[in-house]
Amino acid sequence: MPSRRQLLKYIAALSAASFSGGMLSQSATARVIAWKNWSGSQSCVPSARLAPASVSELQQLVAESLVPIRPVGAGHSFSPLVPTEGQIVSLARLNGLVSHDPDQLRATFLAGTQMSAMGAPLHEVGQALINMPDIDEQVIAGAIATGTHGTGANIGGLPSFVTGLELVTASGELIQCDADNNAEVFQAARLSLGALGIVTKIQMQNTQPYRSRRESWILDWEDTLAQADQLADQHRNFEFYYIPFSERCFLSTHDITEEDKFSTPVSDGNESVQDLKLIRDYLSWSDTLRGLPIKAIAATMDREVVVEASWLNYASERNVRFNEMEYHLPREQGLAALREVRQVLEQDHKAVFFPLEVRYVKGDDVWLSPFYQRDSMSIAVHRFYEDDYRPFFNAVEPIFRKYGGRPHWGKLNSVTRDEFAQMYPRWNAFVDVRQQLDPNAKFLNPYLASLFSGAT
């Protein structure tokens, strides 16, 4: 069999299409104090970028600041949560495991800990995170602040695992909160968008270390949709991607296993996305031709299996940059919305090559969680970072909204304050807590002010 690259080159050579153009070069960015997010779509020139070395230094900084302050994690959010002309504060120097409770399987981390640095110390103390997202580059405070989630019909998003928090409020005061102490603050701070204060420590409910068996395979679109709900209920974790113009989906499950570690050969996700881009560049003039190489490659793919410690088996690297919109829909509405999103993509937005990503998340009771009181199906759309994401995202967002979707807080959306207030039964409670903790709006940037300042 030819390799995938050979196959692609062969098909590209057969194509009558002319190459639509090379990569745009990245524009140079100022290096001094400018900030930009992972995809480059959000940026600002703050008055200062600070990384305090201790909680007391942070308290002093917050208490004395005369300009707005925005906490930042790894900068992996797509929505305008961080940009400010005031100060950007990173907790990168406040990281690591602080303490653990072996009886309750809970552990406390400093808020600036990168998720990739949580698995090993947790393993050493006999614990593991209950679930993980696609990547582990986020810091834990940034991840919970936006409701970051993995997949699992019976597993909530990361904020639902939080059992206690410590935060510095606008006055510089240090507050501890959990379900029993400062309970209102706790309910708001479990998912806060960094709009209540700066979280310094996070205690989370964990589980015992486990090995997971990840299986991935290709299946036809209709068969995938027919089986999706059942697979979601049968497996600890289930997700799938629809590959545009191919009639094919890439499915993946995780289950707890006692098996020894092993791995079949596995496909490289970054290389696959680059291949899809190449196919788009050469063949987007013909839907039928475009699907051929994908189907040919899919036909050669064997089922992939990886048995590994859970914390090494969920996340992968995402090297091909993109912008993203993700909505969380009532689970029972998800597949109908997905069909419409696919139709819009393949009819009117043929330049899109990133697969549609579909995940399941259990409902929770976190005030601003998109999973608040409802089991959800999450559908994510992506556009290459150099492409204008707006036409496609503007076209699919009404579909998500029509089916009752709530946007991921860290991803692009156009939802307004009034619309959020309709979506979230505890919206006003959150706004009240925010107002009490930060009456002078020290932690608001223009985007957050558009959501939270003034009357509710």
How many residues touch ligand FAD (CB under 6 A)? Answer: 32
Q: Which two tokens stand for residue 406?
A: 């709530």
Binding segment for ligand FAD (CB under 6 A), chosen from 15-23, 136-144, 204-212, 341-349, is 136-144
Name which position in 91, 153, 155, 337 contacts ligand FAD (CB under 6 A).
91
The nearest distance, CB 137 to ligand FAD, in angstroms, is 7
Calculate Rg over the CA atoms of the chain: 22
216 binds ligand FAD (CB under 6 A): no
Q: Which two tokens stand for residue 161?
A: 């695992």
138 binds ligand FAD (CB under 6 A): yes
77 binds ligand FAD (CB under 6 A): yes
Residues 6 or more apart whose CB falls under 8 angstroms from that of 256 comprise 210, 211, 212, 213, 236
Element (H, E) at 298: helix 287-300
d(CA 105, CA 99): 11
What x-and-dash track marks residues 173-192 binding ligand FAD by CB under 6 A? Answer: --------------------
The distance from CA 257 to its chain's CA centroid, rounded to whole angstroms, is: 26
194 binds ligand FAD (CB under 6 A): yes
- Please answer whether residues 280 and 80 qualify as being in contact, where contact means their C-beta atoms are separated by less than 8 angstroms: no
DSSP β-ladder status, 87-90 and 356-361: unpaired
198 binds ligand FAD (CB under 6 A): yes
Name which position in 44, 61, 129, 141 contacts ligand FAD (CB under 6 A).
141
CA angle 9, 14, 19 (to 5 degrees): 70
Of residues 112 and 244, the one with the C-beta less far from ligand FAD: 112
74 binds ligand FAD (CB under 6 A): yes
Of residues 191 and 338, the one with the C-beta less far from ligand FAD: 191
Name which position in 142, 159, 291, 405 contacts ligand FAD (CB under 6 A).
142
Sheet with strand 69-72: strands edge to edge? 48-50, 87-90, 69-72
61 binds ligand FAD (CB under 6 A): no
Alpha helices of 83-182 — where are they, by DSSP H? 119-124, 140-145
Instruction: Using the Cα atoms of residue 296, residue 300, residue 301 and residue 302 in order, give the sign of their dihedral.
Output: positive
The nearest distance, CB 385 to ligand FAD, in angstroms, is 10
The nearest distance, CB 126 to ligand FAD, in angstroms, is 26
Q: Which two tokens stand for residue 74?
A: 């790894």
Helix/strand/coil for 402: helix
Name which position in 4, 52, 61, 76 contacts ligand FAD (CB under 6 A).
76
199 binds ligand FAD (CB under 6 A): yes
d(CA 6, CA 312): 31
Name which position in 8, 61, 111, 358 contacts ligand FAD (CB under 6 A).
111
Of residues 289 and 437, the one with the C-beta less far from ligand FAD: 437
d(CA 130, CA 125): 15
DSSP β-ladder status, 87-90 and 69-72: parallel
382 binds ligand FAD (CB under 6 A): no
Of residues 146 and 413, the one with the C-beta less far from ligand FAD: 146
Binding segment for ligand FAD (CB under 6 A), chosen from 130-138, 246-254, 290-298, 395-403, is 130-138
84 binds ligand FAD (CB under 6 A): no
146 binds ligand FAD (CB under 6 A): yes
Of residues 168 and 228, the one with the C-beta less far from ligand FAD: 168
Helix/strand/coil for 249: strand
- Measured in degrees and rounded to the nearest 5, phi and psi for residue 32 equal -70, -70
| Residue whose tokens read 């810091």 | 139
Name which position in 11, 61, 62, 82 contacts ligand FAD (CB under 6 A).
82
| Residue whose tokens read 């001094």 | 32
The type of residue at 239 is: E
Name which position in 61, 62, 134, 341 contacts ligand FAD (CB under 6 A).
134
155 binds ligand FAD (CB under 6 A): no
Helix/strand/coil for 103: coil
Note the residues at the interface with ligand FAD (CB under 6 A): 38, 70-77, 81-82, 91, 111, 133-135, 138-139, 141-143, 145-146, 148-149, 193-194, 198-199, 318, 408, 410
